[in-house]
Amino acid sequence: MDAATRRWRAALFVFMLAAGTGVASWVARTPAVRDGLDVSTGAMGLVLFGLSTGSMAGVTASGHLVRRRGGRAAITAGVTLVVAGLLIVAGSASLALAAGVFCGLALFGFGLGLAEVAFNIEGAAIEGVIGRPVLPVLHGCFSLGTVAGALLGMGLVAVRLPVGWHLAAVAVLVAAAGSWSVLSIPPGTGRETATAATAAPEPGGWRRQLSVWRDRRLAFIGLIVLAMAFAEGAANDWLPLLMVDGHHVSATAGSLTFLVFAAAMTLGRFTGGPLLERFGRVQVVRVSALVAVVGVAGVILSPSPLVAGAATVLWGLGASLGFPVTLSAAGDHPHDAATRVAAVATAGYVAFLVGPPTLGLLADHLGLRATMTVVLALLLVAATLTGALAPTPATPATPTDPAPAPQ
């Protein structure tokens, strides 16, 4: 690997680490923000809706922007919006302006959605260049950032640092990491593929982005990422409350359980590369989905809080590789790789953002433990579809699928 490619890969890792730190920093301070705004939990839910709507808009727009301008342009815009959003949230929280926090979160989410899809496209491109898995470690950096951000947030809450100063400092960190990353990413990734594709007699714009789903293999890959992202998002949003309400542990124990889950996700992503190189995507994702099934079942069925807490390790390890590996599978197509990665990433982020609120509505009627059986069912479906992750005759083998042994 040459120096430029190493710098390109490092740039992706650095920004994803900073992005994870930024997200976790915000999550850690949401109770303080709610208290500072002096709003009800329901009203705070409306404020938080700004993050979801912004993220969905950014994810939806990112693929189109990458095809037109390239990944670096989308990342530059995303970094700018993330930093602006954090600064607006910091100032609005200090001034107790709920509308300002909503707008800041919308900008933050929009920028994050733009940047993350583009980063996944860049990561898939690097995998094609170096012949080794990159996306699992890329997502591992984000997970490691969430762990670091959560620990940092807990420490700053303990010393009573004002929310505004905390989030402003994180904005500076993200700006520094993002600026260096943008300068280290080559221009044109994704744009060149899109330019070539426009010469084909296929519909352009959004119609072209939707047309890729006519590919049955890609549709199955999309279902896998929906299930795996749903399992990850369900834990991110509901695991602490699931432990508190379902197993009657303290709020502190619930938070620590989530920290264990995040650490397991991080471990799984950083150690997944060698497993993928040895066993290939199909076997690794199939086993991962089944491990996640055991973990989720342990959390919702065990009468023991200790066993349920330990089962979150399996939940995290099992869910860790689904998202990045499915993106790798989408990106190894000889044509329209950027469009396919963007489509699959969008499906994953839709599940990640929309799935957990849907579980909340269902939990009002069934309770959280019973509702999590939906996650179990989706993971079982994903395990049956993993054959779609194998290369097809028209698709060259990728770094995560070892070539057949010589006869």
For residue 261, tell me if it sits in a domain.
yes
Assign residue 153 the CATH number of its domain. Answer: 1.20.1250.20
Assigned domain for 239 exists: yes
Is 232 a domain residue? yes
Instruction: Let me know whether 78 and 142 are in one domain.
Output: yes
Kindly write down the DSSP assignment for every residue of 241-258, as one continuous string: HHHHHHH---HHHHHHHH
pLDDT band at 46 (very low <50, low <70, confident <90, very high): confident
Residue 202 falls inside a structural domain: no
**153, 171, 188 - which closes a domain:** 188
Q: 342 and 309: one domain?
A: yes
Regarding whether 314 and 267 lie in a shared domain, the answer is yes
**Those residues with Cβ within 8 angstroms of residue 23's Cβ, 6 or more apart along the chain or in another chain:** 112, 145, 146, 149
pLDDT tens digits, one per residue of 201-231? 344 455 656 677 888 888 999 899 999 988 9
132 pLDDT more than 90: no
The reply to whether 184 and 243 lie within a common domain is no
Both tokens of 323, joined, read 């998202």
Is residue 221, in this structure, part of any structural domain at all? Answer: yes
Going by pLDDT thresholds of 50, 70 and 90, the confidence category of residue 192 is low
Residues 181 and 284 placed together within one structural domain of the fold? no
Which of 339 and 91 is assigned the larger pLDDT?
Answer: 91
List, as own/partner pairs, every contact residues 169-175 make where C-beta atoms lie below 8 angstroms and the sequence separation is at least 24, other chains included: 170/21, 170/22, 170/25, 170/86, 171/22, 171/83, 171/86, 171/87, 171/90, 173/18, 173/21, 173/22, 174/18, 174/19, 174/21, 174/22, 174/79, 174/82, 174/83, 174/86, 175/79, 175/83
Q: 354 and 236: one domain?
A: yes
Mean pLDDT of 115-126: 84
User: Do 43 and 164 belong together in one domain?
Assistant: yes
Residue 286 — pLDDT band, cuts 50, 70, 90? very high
- Claim to verify: residue 21 and residue 117 sit in the same structural domain: yes
84 within a domain of the structure (yes/no): yes
- Do 120 and 266 fall within a single domain? no
Calculate mean pLDDT across residues 128-152.
85
- Other Cβ atoms less than 10 A from the Cβ of 49: the count is 15
For residues 233-261, average pLDDT: 80
Within this chain, do residues 217 and 184 fall inside the same structural domain, yes or no?
Answer: no
Q: Which domain holds residue 354?
A: 213-402
| Residue labelled with tokens 């426009």 | 198
Report residue 165's pLDDT band, with 50, 70 and 90 as the boundaries: very high
235 Cβ neighbours under 8 A, 6+ residues apart:
258, 261, 312, 315, 316, 319
pLDDT of residue 381: 94
pLDDT classification of 397: cutoffs 50, 70, 90:
very low
Counting the structural domains of the chain, the total is 2
Confidence at residue 264, expressed as pLDDT on a 0 to 100 scale: 92
Residues 259 and 151 in one domain: no
pLDDT tens column, 68-116 = 888 889 999 999 999 999 999 999 999 989 999 999 999 999 999 888 8
pLDDT tens digit sequence for 12-28:
999 999 998 988 888 77
Q: What is the pLDDT of residue 106?
A: 93
194: confidence class by pLDDT, cuts 50, 70, 90:
very low
Q: Are residues 273 and 160 in the same domain?
A: no
Mean pLDDT score across all residues of the chain? 82
Winning range, highest mean pLDDT, from 56-60, 315-319, 337-341, 366-370? 315-319
Q: Which of 120-124, 251-255, 330-334 has the highest mean pLDDT?
A: 120-124
Flag whether 140 is in a domain. Answer: yes
Among 155, 188, 221, the domain boundary falls at 188
Burial (CB < 10 A; 0-12, 13-18, 19+), residue 126, is buried
Residue 194 within any structural domain of the chain: no
Q: What pLDDT does 313 receive? A: 95
CA–CA distance, 196 with 404 (Å, rounded to integer): 31
Question: Two tokens at 162?
Answer: 């004002």
Cα–Cα distance list, 87 to 20, 58, 106, 271 (Å): 17, 18, 12, 35
Domain end residue (candidates: 173, 188, 203): 188
